[in-house]
Structure 1
């Protein structure tokens, strides 16, 4: 068994080095395609988080001052209740807002530790009969006592959803084409390796080597290529996540302020990318072995 393991490792490394340019091309193709897949997943997850607070048809957010008085809150509540433009609304107190804040900023522990519940503003979430009136209704409350700011981003959110959906389809389409190309590249790399060692394979068969013993180095070669490409893609996905964070926190993009990706989302994406890379590498090598290795 020790000899078998030594043989597999040595022959796999030899094959990879002998066909290093083609192997590198396969690894880079897998890396690019899986980086696109991972980025599409991050976009989907980020948009889902960013739109969570707008569910139920909310077009208007009225954020109150953290220290707004009960009288000021009641006055705004009465105005909303009496407004003919308002379809429905509900009030989110500081405790509920703080819970939501901790969920959205779960991947920023230093920031979380510096913010207390008293710092988080309560808010009214308002659904309008006509979303086009969001700016006009918001203007009524914007300068009112106890109001910190008013947001009416629904139209922009819808636009972002449409753009992100199109982007995801395009990105996943390109990624699929590249993954198929990577599988073909791996197949060709294994085919060349099999052709270059055809005499050795014949000798091994004559001395009684099992089919699996002959196949393993070739299959492991493709698996390593897929895994290497997936690791590079995983690093690229982490870079995309950092880019999102930089844009949000340094450019203060209002629309993207809740475009937050938790560590759980990123971990899921990384594991998915690694799994797909491994499958692509194994599938390409398996097809090559079944088609070109006559044993």
Structure 2
């Protein structure tokens, strides 16, 4: 296969069908830009939700000796969802309560009526159902009086995150499909404009793969251009526009703390959509062009 010919013909469509190619690139650009913005915002929403979702179980104990307390600690440490454990003695609990309630409660420390407890930190990726099951198991441990945690907040956050993910995923799929359809139609128009040439190439023995190659290259080039433009816009929006005009929002972090993860995903997605749309169109309409002309 002549690589020079494939590249030349793959970029020739930019001159033959300027309006169609421009529309396709613009559509890909808008689609990838929206997905990039959605991805960056979604990541920050998720990380903020996870920080709020930090689950701490307050495990209150009956009066018991040190050995029994250590046995309960060992049972808590055996739980997979538990990330850390802090023991709060009766004396420490009274001091903390006195500090929280403010001045004039010195007698509270002397009364020493608050129970000892364990403060159990749970993995933030745990679902509400798993946390509830964990709390139930701990409640059944001998020597445990009561287990408390912010159950309503955990359930609300999980429900809202699920809804946000469902809506965001649905929008993303619709945007992707719209962009692929537009690339598909652009390549189809290009194939239609070159139908006589395609028939002639078929008659002299050119393979389908050889004929399709320039059109696939055209779709990939469209994806590269659209991906590059969308990346530049994402940089401009979050690095310049948001800090200048929406300072209250603060810093919108890059996913996983590095810019190249999102940039690579955006460019790769644009190229993938361009390749996919052009491949579908070329496979379908090159065969039809040959059949209709035979």
- TM-score, normalised to structure 1, is 0.58
| Structural mapping, 1:1-295, within 5 Å | 4-57=2-55, 78-80=95-97, 169-242=166-239, 246=243, 250-251=247-248, 260-261=253-254, 264-294=257-287
| Counterpart contact for 1:42–1:266, Cα < 8 Å | no
Task: Indicate if the aligned counterparts of 2:255 and 2:261 stay in contact, CA closer than 8 A.
Answer: no
Give deviations 1:41-60, integer Å, cap 9, x for gaps.
212221233345444347xx
Q: CA deviation at 1:168?
A: 5.7
Contact kept? 1:40, 1:172, Cα under 8 Å = no
Secondary structure of the 2:254 match is coil
* Distance (whole Å) between structure 1 residues aligned to residue 94 and residue 254 of structure 2: 33
Q: Which has the larger radius of gyration?
A: 2
**For the structure 1 residues 261 and 203, does the alpha-carbon distance in structure 2 shift closer, same or farther, using more than 3 Å as the test?**
closer
| TM-score for the superposition, normalised by structure 2 | 0.58
Say what the alpha-carbon RMSD is for the aligned residues: 4.3
How many residues get paired? 217
CA contact (8 A) 2:40 2:255 kept: no
Q: In 2, distance between residues paired with 1:130 and 1:247? A: 40
Deviations 1:144-167 (A, max 9, x none): xxxxxxxxxxx8x99999878766
1:27, distance to aligned residue in structure 2 (A): 1.2
Where do 5+ consecutive residues of structure 2 fail to align?
57-91, 101-113, 121-147
